[in-house]
A = this chain, B = another copy of it.
Amino acid sequence: MTVTGSRGRRERLRAETTTEIKKVALALMASGGPDAITLRAIAREMGMTANAIYGYFATRDDLVTTLINDVYTALADAVDAAWEAAPAADPAVRIEAWANAFRTWALVNPQGFRLIYGDPVPGYQAPEGGPAPDAARRVCTGLTALAAAAWPHAQHLYQDSAFDWSDFDPGLLDKVRPAFPDLPPAAVALALRIWGHLHGLVSLEVYGHLHTQTASPDKLFHEELAQLVQTLGIPRRR
């Protein structure tokens, strides 16, 4: 056993190579879109043979799944951080912080957004349960926190909601219900609806469909947010 430990050395090199593969793949994606993630291009960039990558990832889809996980986690980190940084006492500001962080992340990482939410790569087949179930649930849980913050003001809008706990994924509820014990199913539905609102505007923008119709997607998003807060009945401070 040397100082670093000889068995540790191999593992360290292995981990470094794995990291480099992912780093190069993300760089290729950033410059050429998810389509540019090819084993041969990664290998070329690293001075290796394409087949060498098979020592680290069983298939290209495995690599892509890992990338989706990493990128989705980064998105979840970004929105969580924005949420935490905003004052808990002001739901309106907090919700806007979350939403703006979501959109900003998407505009800064458009290719990452496509990787997560679009068709990631030519023939990619997502594994069962989705490629990044944990990160997806983190985002959903964050959205539920939005809904929970709004719920005291908004609940009157959902008197006749037909939702039931059985309508939702148990894995999501395992995270959500302990965190917000008093929240009814309708609030989780509200969270998903808000997700839809934000995802729709952002994805139209990222995919260039909005830009064809308006030069001011910014205004649109901010007006959406203002209306959302207003519709939810959240009082504006000051």
Using CB atoms and an 8 Å cutoff, list the residues of chain A in contact with chain B: 33-35, 114, 117-119, 122-123, 126, 129-130, 133, 136-137, 140, 157, 161-163, 166-169, 172, 189, 192-193, 195-201, 203-204, 207-210, 212-216, 219-220, 223-224, 227, 230-231
Contact = CB atoms under 8 A, between A and B. Distances in A.
B119 A119 contact: yes
B118 A207 contact: yes
Contacts of A163: 216, 219, 223
A197 B193 CA distance: 8
Main secondary structure of the interface of A (DSSP, over half): helix
B189 A219 contact: yes
A149 B114 CA distance: 34
B199 A203 contact: yes
Given A196-B201, A199-B200, A223-B189, A129 B212 contact: yes
Given A117-B209, A220-B192, A230 B200 contact: no
A215 B162 contact: no
